[in-house]
Structure 1
Amino acid sequence: MEVFDAVVVGAGFGGIGAAIQLKRLGYDNIVLVERESDLGGTWHVNRYPGVAVDIPATTYSYWFEPNPNWSRLFAPGAEIKRYAEHVADKYDIRRHMRFNTSVEGAQWDEDAQLWRVSLAGGECLTARFLITATGFLSQKRAPEIPGIGGFGGKVIHSAAWEDGYRCAGHRVAIIGTGASAVQLIPEMAAEAAEVTVYQRTPIHVVPKVDFAFPPSVRRLFARLPLAQRAVRWLTDLLFETITVVGVLHYRGSRRLNIAAADLAKIYRFVSIRDKELRRKLTPDYDFGCKRPTWSNHYYRAFTKPHVHLETNPIERIEPDGIVTADGRKTVVDTLVLATGFDLWDANFPALEVVGRQGRNLGKWWRDTRFQAYQGVSMPYFPNFVSLASPYAFSGLSFFNTIEYQMRHIDRLLGEVKRRGATTFEVTEEANARFLDRMTRLLDKTVFYAGDCAGSRSYYFNHSGEAALLRPTSTGNAVREASSFPLSDYIIA
């Protein structure tokens, strides 16, 4: 029986980063299992028209692997996917990947001190270490609306877009106004005959300062990487300021948060002259309760005569259209579900994980509280690192999260290797201290000190805890990942 050094679940940027770090530590007998047909995670799955990164591409990339070839500041999704392919090839990760492979569950074998990872179809992989890199936005949500299964037209989810699909001449209904919808709606408005957007919760949208990088600038970045790092420093600083000051330190810097909301308000006023339409698109919660959203076309799309905003709740879907609570029916040909992802029910965790003494991770989180030491480790789960955990997400760039977690893996597994040890497990005391600190720090954030009641934000779990984001600066996360007390783990 082959025993792998590590099984990594997921071949997105998190899994690729974890694999790079494992190989740096000398672990080469690893396997990355991915349920999709190719690498890239969300950037392989999301291919809807207009998909692009929602923060500057200079910041949305590994610090150790800058990309001089971005076509513009906010790069389109296809370029992000190509960047993932480049990194996987350059660091020799692709040969470790197994695609079209779904993981059903993983269980710790206490006698053998190994993880048994069960795959769909009955195969079982065995490994010393288990790393889950399933991402935060990996389980798409379909709305539970009466009659949706009987709709006679085309139904398409933004996270399962059909390549080549065109809506020219169609009457399109779009359900949802989250981050994906903000990118998708203007694209649909430019092509479809009629577009009706069904909004449950309006979203704060601010202008996007976006521009193309001329070939001369790209050549400069390639020849002088420090020039690109300088641009990254600026974009990092801007978005870290937005996160730390406007969101995490809301109690002490409420004026900045109000200023951001005012910017969105001014932008709505400039873009939309219709007072009633503007009112419907105005959120009743503080800026930052949902992830900040940028677009130069979203608000203006609603001013077009063939684009309609519907704020009445959907009562049911009939074979040829949608009926709202006021009894009105809109006939549509295509139903687009921009309803996002199921984080708390289906993603924490994304597969069944059973640790020491039979502790089931999903059940434990729900019976107690969502918690993870430094956003990666849980007691009773030896040799397990979960990269998509409570309090893991740091800053607005997923790469902030990936890179501090890579440092944590480096320090932890480097020490395991130095000692010639077999297992590691975070102590209950260290985990409790970290959870208490995160809870105290959350009191200063917009999530608890502000007004988020009407936001319906995925940052909150069903208990009302904002347990997704780590309420510290990225710098703090990086420092602690590089210097956490090794005594916080039992290494044996």
Structure 2
Amino acid sequence: MVSLNIDPSTGRPINVEAKPFKLEDHPVDDSGRRLKVAVIGAGFAGIIAGIRIDQRLRNVDLDIYEKNNGIGGTWLENDYPGLACDIPAHAYHLTFEPNLSWSAFYATGREILSYLTRVVDKYQLMRFIRLRHLLTGAEWNEEKGQWTLSFDLLDEAGSKVGETTKVADVVLQGMGGLNRWNWPDIEGIHDFKGRLLHSAKYDEAPEGAKGKRVAVIGSGSSAIQIVPALQPFAKQLDQYVRGSAWVAAPFASSELLKRSPNGTNHKFTDEELARFRDDTEFYNEFRHAQEAELNCLHHLTFHGSAGQVAAVAEFKEAMSAKLAKKPEIAERLIPTFPVACRRLTPGPGYLEALVEDNVDFRPVDIKRVTATGIEGSDGEHREYDSIVCATGFDSTYRPRVPIIGRNGKNVQDVWSDIPTNYLSMAIGPEFPNYFMINGPNSATGAGSLVIILEREVDYLVEALAKIQRENIKAMAVKQGAVDDFMSYVANYFPATVFGQPCRSWYKAGKLIGPVVALWPGSCLHAVKTFKHPRWEDYEYVSANKEHENRLGWLGNGWTEEDVDGDTAFYLKEVNYPPVPLKVEV
């Protein structure tokens, strides 16, 4: 046991190496630190961050940088025919800002964008948002404890018109994992002389396919929404599919199936919308039921579980029934891998569209694209007026721009293979004061992503408050904490359907590989994990150059209330415990 000798005249320890110390002249609850915070992206993540930072923190210079000419992120950039949320709309809005007027069970992309626009207007976030700022790089300055951010300035058409640099004490990256698209690597793709479209850059209405021969390449969520949207207009529509896909029964489907027994999207009637608006108790119960049912799907994600076996049988039967007119499609489309190994989509109308006379399902590889059409691996060449590439996004999480931390470390190099992270929100000890919202291992295989984004923001706002309150220059996660979390991730997924062989963006587009996109647990598991931050998993550098006392932020022994406020404020914060009922013994 180590004992300290105390100087009776000063109360200070003696025979202990002393460090120079001077009381900081500020109350304990206000270090006087003004914090520059940069948020990258003005989609769901950036909007939530803007609201909560403005609400909960003082003395913050907040800038939300957005590359586009408007807010909304993926819901602004994507506008392909049939675009809709793939979970019930009433489980896809902010918990504190419910939307009483969703027009349908599955909301369209434009409707979601309108909702986000209303939220931004209500909370006056445009005072923080800097549009047409495309991040081109970030570099940490160890001496100053700041990030230097480089941007290309764009015009409304997206063309570069200048450059600028900004500094920030803390960066919150909220760019999302599915916003970087490329044309598919197919020979001759740009030799095509007709209309070449990508699901992430679609600039015409579905009526644009009227009377035309159209090819859709892909079998993911986008293709499953595009095919039924174009089918009624196209003269001929061919879908080129390499793999297979489960087309799910509708998520949180009880309320939908009451209104639409065949599972097609239900548009709410005027009477239903009026009741949502006027009957708060009814609306809250309806909304609660949607999220509760959605979260209950977590048990299906375990390979070989009773729920998983039942889901495979149910989905197979339902898909076979809807494809009965063309049973050969069912033979190729119905997977051998488990339900939910790839991202599920309810796909209202998709299977029904495949069996229409003007649709051909083409389960062949594409050999090449020509000036007039597509040649398949079976040697058949078909001519088209339009080709739609629904071929997904870069899902590796490796940033396209350099993010340079301590010792010249670049996230592009660190994440060249696996995007290692801590609780989805921190990268490693070389990247202090750099946090992520919706980073790797943030998505959920069952449940709503929005609540996870909200809870990540809550966690990060607490981190900002800690940095500001304790006057921290640099806060960086320990490598051991990163290693422990990645070990947890690696050991969690093999027992789930996500670890089974199937090509998915959950695994960065690989057939077999580590799961880089999903949280290792249920949606509720993430919510509870983020509630109690382990600040001991971080290392800190004080911003006070005069001393290294970790408790220097205690200030001068005063609080703000001592100086100018309610000196009995704690009486307004009393937490009254319930009194147990007396039990007769």
Short-chain TM bin: over 0.9
Classify the secondary structure of the residue corresponding to 1:343: coil
Contact 2:438 2:453 in 1 (8 A): no
Q: Is the Cα–Cα contact under 8 Å of residues 411 and 481 in structure 1 kept in the other structure?
A: no
1:350, distance to aligned residue in structure 2 (A): 4.5
User: Do structure 1's residue 11 and structure 2's residue 52 form an aligned pair?
Assistant: no
Aligned to 1:459: 506
CA deviations on 1:370-408 (whole Å, 9 max, x unpaired) are 221111012211111112422122344220321121121
Query: 158, 162, 174: which one pairs with 1:133?
Result: 174
Question: 1:341 and 2:388 equivalent?
Answer: no
The Cα shift of 1:78 comes to: 1.2
Per the alignment, residue 190 of structure 1 pairs with 232
1:267-296, CA deviations, whole angstroms, 9 ceiling, x for partnerless residues? 222212232222122112111111111023
Runs of 5+ consecutive residues of structure 1 not aligned to the other structure:
none
Q: Give the counterpart letter for 1:425 in structure 2.
A: A
Cα deviation, residue 317, structure 1: 0.8
Distance change >3 Å, CA 196–CA 164, structure 1 → 2: closer
Q: How far does residue 224 in structure 1 lie from its aligned partner after superposition?
A: 4.6
Give 2:547's aligned residue: none
Does residue 376 of structure 2 align to residue 324 of structure 1?
yes
Amino acid of the residue matched to residue 16 of structure 1?
Answer: I
Q: Distance in 2 between matches of 1:400 and 1:40?
A: 17
Question: For 1:206, what is the secondary structure of its paired residue?
Answer: coil
**Hey, what does 2:571 align to over in structure 1?**
none
Look up the match of 1:58: 90
The equivalent position to 1:250 in structure 2, one of 303, 318, 324, is 303
C-alpha separation in 2, matches of 1:302 and 1:164: 20
1:150 matches 2:191: yes
Question: How far is the alpha carbon of 1:223 from its aligned partner?
Answer: 4.1
- String of CA shifts for 1:30-79, please: whole Å, max 9, x gaps: 11111111110111111111111100111111111111111122111111
Aligned equivalents of 1:355 and 1:64: distance in 2? 36
Aligned-partner Cα distance in 1 for 2:399–2:438:
8
Show the counterpart of 1:292: 344
Query: For residue 217 of structure 1, what is the aligned residue in structure 2?
Result: 272
- 3-state SS of the aligned residue for 1:117? strand
The aligned counterpart of 2:243 is: 201
Q: What's the secondary structure of 1:63's corresponding residue? A: coil
* Unpaired segments ≥5 residues, structure 2: 1-33, 153-161, 251-255, 257-264, 543-585
SS of structure 1 residue aligned to 2:64? strand
Counterparts of residues 106-121 of structure 1 (less than 5 Å): 106-120=138-152, 121=162
* Cα distance, 1:434 vs structure 2: 1.7
Q: Distance in 2 between matches of 1:306 and 1:376?
A: 47
The partner residue of 2:74 within 15, 18, 42 is 42
Spell out the pairing of 1:162-173 with structure 2 (5 A cutoff). 162-164=203-205, 166-173=208-215
Partner of 2:423: 374
SS of alignment partner, residue 38 of structure 2? strand
- The partner residue of 1:360 within 410, 418, 439 is 410
Report the equivalent of 1:122.
Answer: 163
TM-score computed with the length of structure 1 as normaliser: 0.93
Partner amino acid for 2:519? Answer: R
Q: For 1:181, give the aligned amino acid.
A: A
Aligned pairs for 1:97-108 (under 5 A) are 97-108=129-140
- The offset of 1:315, in angstroms, is 0.5
Secondary structure of the equivalent of 1:103? Answer: strand
1:408/1:87 CA distance change after superposition, 3 Å: same
The CA RMSD measured in Å over matched residues stands at 1.9
CA distance in 2, matches of 1:361, 1:59: 33
- Counterpart-to-counterpart distance in 2, 1:283 and 1:250: 15
Instruction: Supply the distance in 2 between the matched residues of 1:396 and 1:132 (Cα, whole angstroms).
Output: 23
Q: CA offset at residue 28 of structure 1? A: 4.5
How far the C-alpha of 1:89 sits from its partner, in A, is 1.3
In the alignment, residue 148 of structure 2 is paired with which amino acid?
Answer: R
Matches of 1:20 and 1:372, distance apart in 2:
25
1:229 to partner: Cα distance: 2.9
1:10: how far off? 0.8
* CA offset digits 1:396-452 (Å, max 9, x no partner): 42203211211211221222222232321111222222222222222321123xxx3
Q: State how far apart, in whole Å, the 2-side matches of 1:306 and 1:27 are.
A: 62
Pair 1:122–1:413, CA change in 2 (3 A): same
The structure with the largest alpha-carbon Rg is 2
Whether the aligned pair in 2 keeps the contact of 1:348 and 1:389 (CA below 8 Å) is no
Partner residue of 1:392? 442
Letter paired with 1:310: R
Which shows bigger deviation, 256-265 or 103-112?
256-265
The 2-side partners of 1:329 and 1:27 are apart by 64
Mapped contact 1:88–1:94 kept (Cα < 8 A): yes
Please state if 1:22 is matched with 2:53.
Answer: yes
Q: How far apart are 1:213 and its partner, in Å?
A: 2.6
1:107 is displaced (CA, Å) by 0.7
Mark the CA change 1:233 to 1:391 in structure 2 (over 3 Å): closer, same or farther: same
Distance in 1, matches of 2:59 and 2:506, equals 35
How many residue pairs get matched? 479
AA paired with 1:138?
N
1:67-86 correspondence runs (5 A): 67-86=99-118
Letter in 2 for 1:298: Y
The one-letter amino acid of 1:7's match is: A
SS at match of 2:92: coil
How high is the TM-score relative to the length of structure 2?
A: 0.79
Once residues 289 and 185 of structure 2 are traced to their aligned partners in structure 1, the CA distance between those partners, rounded to angstroms, is 43
Letter in 2 for 1:381: F
Aligned pairs (5 A) from 1:301-312:
301-312=353-364
Query: CA–CA distance in 1 between the matches of 2:115 and 2:477?
Result: 34
1:220/1:417 Cα in 2 relative to 1: closer, same or farther (>3 Å)? farther
| Contact 1:207-1:296 within 8 A present in 2 as well | no
Secondary structure, aligned partner of 1:186: helix
CA distance in 1, matches of 2:408, 2:283: 49
Task: Please give the per-residue CA displacement for 1:344-385, whole angstroms capped at 9, x wherever unaligned.
Answer: 1xx433432111111111211226x42211110122111111
Q: State yes or no: 1:409 paired with 2:460.
A: yes
Are the aligned partners of 1:4 and 1:126 in contact in 2 as well (CA < 8 Å)? no
Q: Which amino acid in the other structure matches residue 218 of structure 1? A: L
Offset of 1:231 from its aligned partner?
A: 2.0
Relative distance call for 1:171 and 1:30 in structure 2 (3 A) is same
Range moving further from structure 2, 412-421 or 292-301: 412-421
Hey, what's the Cα distance between the residues in 2 that align with 1:275 and 1:72? 31
Structure 1 window deviating more from structure 2 (465-474 vs 185-194): it is 465-474
Q: 1:201 to 1:16 in 2, by over 3 A?
A: same
> Secondary structure of 1:6's partner?
strand
**How has the CA–CA distance of structure 1 residues 490 and 224 changed in structure 2, closer, same or farther, with 3 Å as cutoff?**
farther
